[in-house]
Structure 1
């Protein structure tokens, strides 16, 4: 029998928990709007020109629909595992385990790309402020070691720090937008990007890799369920509001950047280093002092993203090891309670990939970022499709006081729309990656191999153990944490966390 929906007021801590504004804040902070607009919009312009503007609108609308079923199942299925928990509830633990393997490889790609991006922008910032130009790879090594150290010590970016950075990001973007609007852009304010023919432009699918990626993280509202005040009301409100704010903010921000660049010269501006586009425009419309602040904020924002991906990926490795899909040694934890072996493995894989990319001369911005973020968003879209199907499956078996719109129609429609987006993305991904069919197949291959491995391995694992792999990236069993001062240590305790499935 499936668990019933949690009650709204279960404890004093929940009554004093996070409200709607706080939950929206967490999502927006994770989204890092300055990073998306400064880092992704220039790449989107390279791939699809002014299609990048409406490119943000479509995923926002799709995700508003997806959120209907997603927040509904969150009211009835306990746990903070987000996608994996709900996939397991609707389609079974083994399917959830396979999804976990795909998710891990996707997030690994995301961390590789974010580290490359952070290194590029850090190199440019150092050169701009000091005149010293450093190669991106040594910077990537330093960032990876820093992130590994923080991960092992269970040191994250504090809420107060994130709050200050988010406010600063929004402020610097607002100053830029106001300056562009007051000055009328480069050649007047033009709404050509919203013309009727642009809504069905063939260039749109080419930017979906970037624009769908920009919304990744909104689903994390459910992770905070146990810390949220009146979660059955707060989580849906926060999810819808966060997606709506991102939709409007990204669309407006991309349009402002296009106005500053000017339709007539945007191609010429992108022929240089596209990663410098937004900073060049900010220099022109606001001034170099504001640009220096913007540069620093972009770097710190990217590094915060790398930290989040490192923490998430390491916890996926722990859960997949506990579920028997990966070697049991990966579940070993440090005395701080943070993943030990998994953190080292994750950092090692990131460094190996970046060294290989550097050795073959891949451009860290126009190539590494697109080649690694493509499997990331494909993985996320696959998880969203499976989640939507799981919602329908779960409520078909478990009758609840919910409407057909929230349990069947909306999730079915979102599954169809996300599938269409996925097909279009794969069909047009060459416009962004710059690769042919064979090269694009290589980009997607890690996901296919991960899914195949997960399927084969899950068949050999008992369903009850496979459930451990679906508890979510933030879930680590307290029993797996070694006691730094054990009163009666037993050899069986450590063997239990290292046993291979």
Structure 2
């Protein structure tokens, strides 16, 4: 279903290019000047959010036959494929409306921009099918995130960061069932909380959904930005501590540049967070929501320090994954 959805978007891209707006085939969308000015932080955070998921490949490393070959291959293919697809499709949107009208049309149509443009070029039936596939695509994305979170819970249970029950698989399937149930419970609590807290100012039933999507989505994007920055700097620390800085010079330079760039994006994201969540500049949401990431980071550091002082052996196993698990299993047997 997801592949069919992508194929239909490509059909729209072709239709937009063959039937452009009043300004014709303009390449204005690729002008670097569009990356300056107000709102750049919002755009960068949205781009990171659009790419969320490409970093999930290592989560499945233990379930592949050649993880050192397949995981990097999948990640590079995912980044390249999604980048090309998003870039061309976004450009097609500007071609369909014209570069001078894309902002106004997007503000007017909001999330329905693509459907608005397909209806005029490809008809009602095509647009109806695209609506259905949009829903199935969202389900596929949610299922993917659910699986990854369940595996994170499994890894944390196995390494002593969560109760040991989360570090065991279910039955003969080998699936992290306890982690899956935890993810389901957390999701249910959050969704029900947003539904109950809705004050229905205009009787609009979509408001809690929009709040949950914008608040949760942007908090998640900011969290992933911070995590990727930390991972970039950890690459530098890993090789420097092992005396391999000279041999891994290229990796250290690229990781440092990536980490610094991600920190800049994180700074812009926090600065423009009121825009991202649709709140006013004086709204408490502009600092309360990003503060959740800060609190999580502090809590993680504190937990790590406590674990290192009280259970150094367990602390040393963090991040070792299946290798440490298999060594412990062999030692006990």
TM-score range, shorter chain: 0.7 to 0.9
Query: Shift in Å at residue 182 of structure 1?
Result: 0.9
Residue 170 of structure 2 corresponds to which residue in structure 1? 334
- Residues of 2 paired with 1:302 and 1:276: CA distance? 15
**1:92-131 CA distance string (max 9 Å, x none):** xxxxxxxxxxxxxxxxxxxxxxxxxxxxxxxxxxxxxxxx
Aligned to 2:176, the other structure's residue is in SS state: coil
2:134 aligns to what? 298
- Would you say the 8 A contact 1:218–1:242 is kept in 2? yes
Match of 2:260 among 406, 416, 429: 416
Report which stretch shifted further, 459-468 or 370-379. Answer: 459-468
Distance in 2 between the 1:475 and 1:209 partners? 35
CA distance in 2, matches of 1:475, 1:183: 56
Q: Is 1:464 aligned with 2:313? A: yes
Q: Which runs of 5+ in 2 are unaligned?
A: 199-205
The 8 Å contact of residues 169 and 297 in structure 1, kept in 2 or not, is answered as yes
Deviation sequence 1:16-68 (CA, Å, 0-9, x none): xxxxxxxxxxxxxxxxxxxxxxxxxxxxxxxxxxxxxxxxxxxxxxxxxxxxx
Alpha carbons of structure 1 residues 400 and 460: separation in structure 2 relative to 1, 3 Å: closer
1:313 alignment partner in structure 2: 149
Alpha-carbon shift at residue 219 of structure 1 (Å): 3.0
Give the structure 2 partner of residue 88 of structure 1: none
SS in structure 2 of the partner of residue 470 of structure 1: coil
Deviation, structure 1 residue 444? 2.2
Displacement of 1:302 in angstroms is: 1.1
- Alpha-carbon distance in 2 for matches of 1:426, 1:271: 26
The answer as to whether partners of 1:207 and 1:432 remain within 8 angstroms in 2 is no
C-alpha separation in 2, matches of 1:185 and 1:271: 17
Residue 347 of structure 1 corresponds to: 184
| CA pair 457-199 structure 1, distance change in 2 beyond 3 A | closer
Q: Give SS of 1:171's match.
A: helix
Mapped to 2, the partners of 1:221 and 1:345 lie a distance apart of 21
From the superposition, tell whether residues 443 and 230 of structure 1 become closer, same or farther in structure 2 (CA, over 3 Å): closer
- Structure scoring higher RCO (CA < 8 A, sep ≥ 6) equals 1
Relative to the length of structure 1, the TM-score reads: 0.55
Q: After the TM superposition, list the runs of 4 or more consecutive aligned residues in structure 1 that deviate by more than 6 angstroms.
A: none
In structure 1, the partner of 2:96 is 260
Would the alpha carbon gap of residues 452 and 322 (structure 1) be closer, same or farther in structure 2, given more than 3 Å must change?
farther
Alpha carbons 1:385, 1:419 under 8 Å: kept: yes
RMSD: 3.4
Tell me whether 1:193 sits opposite 2:24 in the alignment.
no
CA contact (8 A) 1:322 1:469 kept: no
Q: Structure 1 residue aligned with 2:19, among 183, 186, 191?
A: 183
Q: 1:337 to 1:239 in 2, by over 3 A?
A: closer
Partner of 1:358: 195
Asked whether the 8 Å contact 1:318–1:342 carries over to 2, the reply is yes
**Separation in 1 of the partners of 2:251 and 2:28?**
39
For 1:382 and 1:211, the matched residues in 2 are separated by 15
Deviates more, 1:312-321 or 1:189-198: 189-198
8 Å contact from structure 1 (residues 319, 476) kept in 2: no
Contact 1:176 1:282 in 2 (8 A): yes
Matches for 1:17-56 after TM superposition, within 5 Å: none
Q: 1:198 to 1:426 in 2, by over 3 A?
A: same
CA contact (8 A) 1:209 1:373 kept: no
Cα distance in 1 between the residues matched to 2:137 and 2:323: 25
TM-score of the aligned structures, taking structure 2 as reference length: 0.80
> Deviation of residue 439 (structure 1)?
0.5
1:377 to 203, 221, 224: 221
Question: CA 1:309 to 1:254, structure 2 compared with 1: closer, same or farther past 3 Å?
Answer: same
- For residues 7-18 of structure 1, what are the structure 2 equivalents within 5 Å? none
Tell me, yes or no, if structure 1 residue 242 matches structure 2 residue 78.
Answer: yes
8 Å CA contact retained: 2:13, 2:88: no
Taking a change above 3 Å as real, the CA distance of residues 476 and 167 of structure 1, as seen in their structure-2 partners, is: farther
Instruction: Tell me, in whole angstroms, the C-alpha distance in 1 between the residues paired with 2:231 and 2:87.
Output: 26
Counterparts of 2:323 and 2:49, CA distance in 1: 24
Residues 315 and 289 of structure 1: is their aligned pair in 2 closer, same or farther, counting only changes over 3 Å? same
Aligned pair count reads 315
Please list, as runs of the form range in 1=range in 2, the aligned pairs for 1:140-289 lying within 5 A after superposition: 165-185=1-21, 187-223=23-59, 227=64, 231=68, 236=72, 239-262=75-98, 263-264=100-101, 266-267=103-104, 270-271=107-108, 274-289=110-125
